[in-house]
Amino acid sequence: MVHIHTHTEGQVLLNLLLVLTIVILGLDFVIGLWNSYISGYTFGLAKQHPTDRGSDFMLVYSVFGLVIGFAITIYVITIALGAGFAYFGYIDFSVLNGLLALNFLIFGGVITFFGIGLTIMSIYVTYKTRSKWSGLVSIWNVFATILNLYTYIKNFVPAVAIVKSQLNSKKDTGSLIILAAVGVFIGCAIAYVMYHAGRKKAEREPA
């Protein structure tokens, strides 16, 4: 009875962790889409008013946001794609492990380091505008950046070891590269659609 009870509790915990992971990835996906959209909108406004004070800053801010938007979208799509292929048995779980590690190293790194720049700029915006909303955004950005930086530094060496091991084994390396490329393509396509929608929205704004 004790063994069955423990197993059941363990299964419930695993299910809860799975649900939590899906929710977090879903939120990340929404954030990536929003970053892409708002970057397109900001870029479009800056292009409409090139002589306005602060337009250059808006352009730089939108580029940083766009890079992060693309990176987050690709990051989530690649995880979902790899997990789906592994679940249905199309790839080995060792390939999934390598894909996740490669995804973390490249796009996790982009999100982390561009996030530092975006956080600095958001603090500057808060200082200039004294807006409460900008202040809340800055606080969140600082928290997220510290967490991302800690996570990246902590897991960098293990992730490099996993990728090296996967590439050296030459087992299904082609599957790893193809899945990564497909994830990048799909992620870029989705993020670009949101960016383009943001620019179109800005173009419809009165000059």
Range of the domain at 47: 2-203
Q: Which bin fits 98, alpha (ψ -120 to 50), beta or left (φ > 0)?
A: alpha
Element (H, E) at 37: helix 2-48
Contact 186/77 with Cβ under 8 angstroms?
Answer: yes
Contact 92/171 with Cβ under 8 angstroms?
Answer: yes
- Residues 184-203 as b/e (b if ≥16 CB within 10 A, e otherwise) read bebbeebbbebbeebbeebe
pLDDT tens, N- to C-terminus, the chain (207 residues) = 344 444 565 566 667 777 888 888 899 999 999 999 999 998 888 887 766 666 788 888 889 989 999 999 999 999 999 999 988 888 888 888 999 999 999 999 999 999 999 888 888 878 877 788 878 888 888 998 999 999 999 999 999 999 888 877 766 778 888 899 999 999 999 999 999 999 999 888 776
pTM: 0.84
The tally of domains found in the chain comes to: 1
CA-CA distance, 14 to 10, in Å (whole number)?
6
